[in-house]
Amino acid sequence: MSSKEARFKEIFKANSKKIYHLCYGYTGDEEAANDLMQETFLKVWQSLDKFRNQAMISTWIYRIAVNTCLSWLRVEKRMAKDELTDNIIENKHEELSEKNEQVALLYKCISQLEENERIIITMVLDELPYSEIAEISGVSEGNLRVKIHRIKHKLTEIYNRYERF
Provide the residue-wise pLDDT of the chain in tens; the chain has 165 residues. Answer: 888 899 999 999 999 998 998 888 878 788 999 999 999 999 999 998 888 776 678 888 888 898 888 788 777 665 544 555 555 555 554 554 555 667 777 777 888 888 788 888 888 887 888 988 888 888 899 999 999 999 999 988 988 887 655
Residue 74 structural domain: 3-163
**What's the start-to-end Cα distance of the chain, in Å?**
54
Overall number of domains in the chain: 1
Residues shown for the chain: 165
CA distances from 89 to 72, 81, 117 (A): 17, 12, 20
